[in-house]
Structure 1
């Protein structure tokens, strides 16, 4: 029997608004023998006993809701980096995003750079995520949401309904989706657009309302959406459109596929591979700015394809993901002890 492994995750005890990915990861690790999972507090991070620290979005560590809280957290982050170095505790990072957040301070950038240098091992969610040469890494695909949403009954599909669901940020291109949809007014009056999600600012919300004004085919629900309502919007839609200006790892795509609804997403290497993985008729691609022709054309191709098997998500089971994470943690511990290069997987 191997020694018990204690992992400190970078997120606190889950709440109703916690990212489901984090909750399901915690559950998958809890289900394994000889694995103990601790959730984040600064006391545990600085004074607790653990074998591995696993961070997901490191920018959360150095941010705060007030200037004072931000400064305190940044000082604590320096202490955490020092603690990890003294005890040679490996820092494992899941690379959810490729770049640092926009609009952060020079001090935040400095601290995130130090956290990056302190990272022992990287987990990437798809094989196209670049990893620096000589840095140990493992590819563990983002798990599906079939079990997560199984408690909620699907809604009857509304023919012609195009859906968008999720947190609304500028880079997600929701305003472009509204404008593209409005471009169909002379071509189709039997389609509709249902947008549901919480904008990150009042200015963004007003911009979306302004773009949608005057088209009664558009329904806006600009608020935090519960899981039950999310399932309702997605399953009632004939097509889910995620027009992100940049897309690398998208939980929204997997959410739709987990609920057996096709998606229209930007054409890139990640999405082309996903289309091959899940099978034909589920992931449709568009190139360049989103237009009304993309929307109408995709609905036409979707209807022409007819019935098809459900999306193949067998490579994204959470039981497998939990085991793969433990392998990554133990590889990180070995790397931390030996400081020898390890191949990426």
Structure 2
């Protein structure tokens, strides 16, 4: 059996681990060459004539651009190729990472492409039941027989995890006694970092630190200035903008006590599984898959509708080092259940249901 992954996302451990484990159980998995077009994918399909499965992961790169006219051209090309795939009998599997692009660009075209994928897909994978329900509700999906839940795998064996808490804190110039909150990863407007800063500054404790580390895309450049303005004169906040090298992830994770996900909106998140894989307690909204993967034994969950939800959750973590440590250990045990071997086997079952 041959599966083609689309689009290629370089440096994405999710794709790499899933592909590697599918290959281990006997599948031939192909992925686009670096810098290949995510819109014009049909030449790759022809090159591997003819694959059994086209496994689509993200719709947006194939059909959406910041330019409206370019988005129209990309969408037309994308839809024509989907029709051809359907005619020649290649099965389409879609894993739902997002229901729309995070920037809300050209939503009419985005929704048109997504609805077409839903119509043509032989199987649709979500990472949890909550995401599946949101998909059904958003797009009024009728054919539920082609819906499958395959969880997001862990990162337990992917990143190095050797550095001690003390050494990690020394590298980041953080005091041993401080309670450290961490936001790690790509910083986008929907992730709520400015709100996190404002909430942190309301906490009535001096022995705390907030570390914000991650890249800000060029289209969000004003976000860098906004963050820098908000943290001015607050020595308790470390802001490290820029790409975080994979070998440095262990430094930030092991220096932290709690990893915070102050998202305004979310369907699923690999970052949560990353924090759990490093054995960290989490603060997150009870939204999408976050409310299913995390539980009250390992996380301080809050409702997005509660304007005081985030600060209440952060207040609960103050002066509770033993409880936070135990919550992190609980999360690491949960993460161990999401092995990529199991994820690959579940994905194979989805493929077989299409044939």
Determine if the TM-score, normalized by the shorter chain, exceeds 0.5: yes
Paired position in structure 2 for 1:88: 89
Paired position in structure 2 for 1:194: 211
1:225 partnered with 2:244: yes
Aligned positions of 1:40-79 closer than 5 A: 40=32, 42=41, 43-46=43-46, 48-49=48-49, 50-63=51-64, 73-79=74-80
| Partner Cα distance (1:273, 1:300) in 2 | 27
Task: After superposing the two structures, state which structure 1 stretch, 174-183 or 265-274, moved more.
Answer: 265-274
1:321 partnered with 2:343: yes
- Displacement of 1:153: 3.4
Paired position in structure 2 for 1:149: 159
Partner of residue 20 from structure 1, selected from 4, 13, 17 = 13
Aligned pair in 2 of structure 1 residues 94, 113: CA closer, same or farther (>3 Å)? same
Paired position in structure 2 for 1:341: none
Aligned positions of 1:1-345 closer than 5 A: 5-12=1-8, 15=10, 18-33=11-26, 35-40=27-32, 42=41, 43-46=43-46, 48-49=48-49, 50-63=51-64, 73-99=74-100, 101=102, 102-104=104-106, 106-129=108-131, 130=133, 131=136, 132-135=141-144, 136-150=146-160, 153-156=163-166, 158=176, 159-184=178-203, 187-200=204-217, 201-268=220-287, 270-276=289-295, 280=297, 282-287=298-303, 288-289=306-307, 290-301=309-320, 303-304=322-323, 307=326, 310-333=332-355
Task: After superposing the two structures, state which structure 1 stretch, 76-85 or 203-212, moved more.
Answer: 76-85
- Displacement of 1:211: 1.2
Task: After superposing the two structures, state which structure 1 stretch, 222-231 or 191-200, moved more.
Answer: 222-231
- Displacement of 1:212: 1.1
- Displacement of 1:270: 4.0
Q: Which SS does the other structure have where 1:203 is aligned?
A: helix
Q: Deviation string for 1:107-128 (max 9, x for gaps)? A: 4543343233222210110122
Aligned pair in 2 of structure 1 residues 100, 198: CA closer, same or farther (>3 Å)? closer
- Displacement of 1:259: 0.5
Aligned pair in 2 of structure 1 residues 165, 79: CA closer, same or farther (>3 Å)? same
- Displacement of 1:73: 4.1
Q: Name the structure with the higher helix share.
A: 2
Unaligned segments of structure 1, at least 5 residues: 334-345
Q: Deviation string for 1:58-113 (max 9, x for gaps)? A: 11112458889766644542342122111121110011123455122644543343
Aligned pair in 2 of structure 1 residues 133, 108: CA closer, same or farther (>3 Å)? closer
TM-score (norm 1): 0.83
| Partner Cα distance (1:306, 1:109) in 2 | 43
Indicate if the aligned counterparts of 2:7 and 2:62 stay in contact, CA closer than 8 A: no
- Displacement of 1:286: 2.7
Indicate if the aligned counterparts of 1:142 and 1:316 stay in contact, CA closer than 8 A: yes
- Displacement of 1:198: 1.4
Q: Deviation string for 1:215-235 (max 9, x for gaps)? A: 011110111111122221111
Q: Deviation string for 1:240-293 (max 9, x for gaps)? A: 1111112331111111110011111113474443234xx82x222134235545
Unaligned segments of structure 2, at least 5 residues: 170-175
Aligned pair in 2 of structure 1 residues 88, 306: CA closer, same or farther (>3 Å)? closer
- Displacement of 1:177: 0.5
Indicate if the aligned counterparts of 1:63 and 1:73 stay in contact, CA closer than 8 A: yes
Higher relative contact order (Cα pairs below 8 Å, separated by 6+ residues): 1
- Displacement of 1:322: 0.7
| Partner Cα distance (1:46, 1:65) in 2 | 29
Indicate if the aligned counterparts of 1:51 and 1:89 stay in contact, CA closer than 8 A: yes
| Partner Cα distance (2:121, 2:128) in 1 | 19
